[in-house]
Chain A
Amino acid sequence: METLARKLIARAAGQSGVSAGDVVICKVDLAMIHDSGGPRRVKPMLERLGRRVWDRDRVVVVTDHYVPADTEETRAIQALTRQWVRDEEIANFYDQQGICHVVLPERGHLSPGMFCVGGDSHSPTGGAFGAYMFGVGATEMAGVLATGEIWLRVPETILIQWNNSLGACVTAKDMMLAVCGEIGMGGGRYQAIQYAGTAIRNLSMQERMTMSNMAAELGAQAGLIAPDEITADYVRAAGGTLAEDWADYAIEAADKPEDHLTFDAAELAPQIAAPHSPANAADAAEFENTKFDVAYIGACTGAKYVDLAAAASVLKGRRIASGITLKVAPASKQDQDRAADEGIMSILEEAGAQFLANSCGICAGYGDDRLAEDEVCLSSTARNFKGRMGAPGSQVYLASPYTVAASAVTGTMRDPREIMEG
């Protein structure tokens, strides 16, 4: 049976079909790089090879990791990034407009059928659009920029099917934490994961992006979702181009019957993952009354427009508990502007939120705004590895924006349905 992953890879490899395990060379439709793994790393390698980028129209550069650039070192990194973009005459450059995985689709760069690489581990986010997209390191990216090609071992597809519909205050983030808890961080085996089922079809594009984004936490190479009218509408609205045959990529299948896993969305409760792994997930109710200091709504995983709206639905007319700091770093400028137009930013502000730049923020842990030793954070981000967001003794719990917001109001960790339905 044909899988979406194999159809996408066969197209990029210029073959009529491929089999799992084949090693193929694929032509890259789009390469995305950011300020950390991008120009500062690939420039010397391209110079050594005596090459320029293979196609200036197929490269997208985003600054998001060292934003705000508030030190001499980070300002130098941004200056180098801008100079390289000028020198290479890169057509698509988004400077401090938000996090790459969110900016890329909102500016119309992704559509079904594409084969893309990104210089960041959360690049599987692009799979939400029915595109094959995966993350690579800087050296591999330099190779792509020099040649327009990359090798790939054709993956098997693990199909994760979510039946029925999600209840109130339960989100894509909860679905992903539950899957992490069930199959573990290595459960994706560097194969392609594909999400299917009624609950996936009902998700907005940004919620689907959260699913694909966290395929990285499962150790998968890609996190695919078959395109449908919701995909097509998003791409059109973003000013993107839909291939004539885009609907041909609406394929949902696993390679092996044992790799077809089924979950029930209707049964799913809000989840929290304990330090230091997303796989430490359990029902939020099990963490009831756990104390924390910082509530964080941030990152490509957890601070898109839908995430800000979710947090605001809890925080409307409420204030965060004393002793809790709520920090919000909207994932993109466009999402923040939309949230502001709809009054969402005001609700968050009135609830007591502090706002950070439209960037990777505390999730990347690259800047000075980090967690202190022994500080405990409840975060809408994707990973809670030891020391990632701050001092080695800091602790990060992961949850959805609803759960983070509800817990910020009550002052200890909470199933958000308790305060929304109570």
Chain B
Amino acid sequence: MARLWRFDDTIDTDVLAPGKYMKSPLAELAMHCLEAVRPKFASNVRPGDVMLGAPNMGVGSSREQAAEVLKHLGISAVIAPSFAGIFYRNAINLGLPVFTIDAGLHAHPGLTDGAEITFDFDSASVTLPASGEVLSLEPLPDFLRDMILDGGLIPHLEKRFQTTAAAEGA
């Protein structure tokens, strides 16, 4: 079971990874994640929890620490009606699952802040245990899904380079 962290205001990269702490190590930066809008987020979030953002999730800077701190804090998926493009690419490149949710489903009364839910990557869905209802998210294209399963772009490239090297060696 995971806790749902719901945000109804657009979350930008400056509140996810505040500039003042950008020179600090990731673990320290992560302790300030979202403190400007929800001061206790970093200390209360638990591994496996799911973040439900508002439209244009992750708008702002290209700093990938905005996605990296969420992964570091154990967020298992970020779900939103729409994402800012760079944040979306960064999350996938870092192996953090990001899923788009239909605007109608986003307004579902079961998706309140603090709700207990289960999230399943393979089926791209959220289950509400109270009602047993399964909410389907927009599936990822295969090549992005594969990148997340490999753990992000760098492990994905590592695999590709090894395959190329092996083919050249054969």
Contacts and interface: CB of A to CB of B under 8 A. Distances in A.
A229 B55 CA distance: 40
B134 interface: no
Interface stretch (B40-48, B81-89, B107-115, B121-129): B81-89
Given A139-B94, A386-B15, A387-B15, A185 B10 contact: yes
A137 B19 contact: no
A365 B23 contact: no
A143 B153 contact: yes
B84 A139 contact: no
Given A190-B84, A387-B15, A219 B59 contact: yes
Interface in B24-83: 24, 35-37, 55-56, 59-64, 67, 82
A84 B117 CA distance: 46
A385 B14 contact: yes
Given A136-B62, A137-B89, A186-B82, A49 B158 contact: yes
Contacts of B103: none
Contacts of B61: 120-121
B4 to A, nearest CB: 22
A385 B154 contact: no
Contacts of B10: 185, 277
Interface residues of A, number: 46
A137 B15 contact: no
B157 interface: yes
A36 B90 contact: no
Contact of A221 (B24, B60, B85): B85
Interface residues of B, number: 40
Contacts of B161: 49-51
B152 interface: yes
A174 B88 CA distance: 29
Nearest to B160: A147
Nearest to B37: A386
A138 B17 CA distance: 14
Contact of A139 (B20, B85, B141, B152): B152
A140 B143 CA distance: 15
B146 interface: no
A147 B157 contact: yes
Contacts of B12: 385-386
A139 B158 contact: no
Interface of A: 23, 36-37, 41, 45, 48-51, 66, 71, 73-74, 77, 119-121, 123, 135-140, 142-143, 146-147, 151, 185-186, 189-190, 219, 221, 277, 364-366, 370, 383, 385-388, 392
Question: Nearest 9 A-B pairs (CB), nearest first?
Answer: A137-B64, A190-B85, A365-B19, A137-B90, A186-B56, A121-B62, A139-B93, A388-B14, A135-B62
14 contacts: A138-B64, A139-B94, A140-B90, A140-B93, A143-B93, A143-B154, A186-B55, A189-B82, A366-B19, A366-B20, A385-B12, A385-B14, A386-B15, A392-B35
